[in-house]
Amino acid sequence: MLQATVRQEVHIVREVLEGAFSPELATQLMFEALQAVGDVPTSAESVLKFCRGPLAQIVEDVVGQDARAAVLVRLEQVLVKGDMTGTDIPIDVDLEDEPSMTMVMPTVWREPVSVLVVSSTGDFGQRLHAALGASRVTVATVDGEMDVRKGVFQMSPLLVVVDATAAPRMERGAIAAAFRGLPDNVLPVVWGAETEYGDGLANAMRAAGVHAAISLRYGEGIPAFLDLVLARYQP
């Protein structure tokens, strides 16, 4: 079982984004930038490079050039000078489709939302942990039928996510059977439904009588999945 680990600098970046934007938008920007770079930065130098490159570009693409400039000033101020002054002042943005929380029960009260990821790598879980932070989410990544069962028993997750973009070694039928045996309060999710593995898993779940799972397309972006997590967190 792989636990995500993230350096303090990455948490600071997320805090700056949350000072500027809504938690939902900040989380989306952080996750998409981490997805673009392909890894979680592990040094002060790589965090600065991440902020000036992928993160700045994502902010510009989603929120606009003016917001990019303002956010970069704040990030440089905090990461280079260690000064948080003014970074909690919201930046006014006008978005047609700002992320919104779909209120789906159950929720947790002042506790991290537990998410079990089924994947051949820990990348998705690490990005999720970095984007949301330890106060909002607890993530573990597993691959293997026994590890899935053990993870469900030990974590009592609210979401079990199959990352079909990094397909696990498990047979699709075994995952479908595991989904069928999940407690009623656990939401099964397939991330990357348009992939060959994701499409085959959807067929296996239908054959196994699993109808409660949610399938999300990688090409449509991460907001819908983050929405599922944040909807279960009540600060």
Residues 156, 80: Cα–Cα separation, whole Å: 40
| Residues β-bridged to residue 216 | 191
Q: Mark residue 35 as left, alpha or beta (left: phi above 0; alpha: psi -120 to 50; beta: remaining).
A: alpha
CA distances from 48 to 7, 10, 39, 114, 123 (A): 13, 10, 14, 30, 20
Residues 83, 143: Cα–Cα separation, whole Å: 42
Q: Are 189 and 162 in contact (CB under 8 A)?
A: yes
Residue partners of 134: CB distance under 8 A and separation at least 6: 112
Q: What is the pLDDT of residue 114?
A: 95
Instruction: Tell whether the model's pLDDT for residue 112 goes beyond 80.
Output: yes
Provide, rounded to the nearest whole percent, the portion of the chain with pLDDT above 70: 89
Provide, rounded to the nearest whole percent, the portion of the chain with pLDDT above 90: 48
For the chain, counts of helices (H) and of strands (E): 10, 8
pLDDT tier at 204, thresholds 50, 70, 90 = very high
Instruction: Tell whether the model's pLDDT for residue 156 goes beyond 70.
Output: yes
Amino acid letter for position 234: Q
Q: What is the pLDDT of residue 10?
A: 83
Q: What is the pLDDT of residue 168?
A: 95
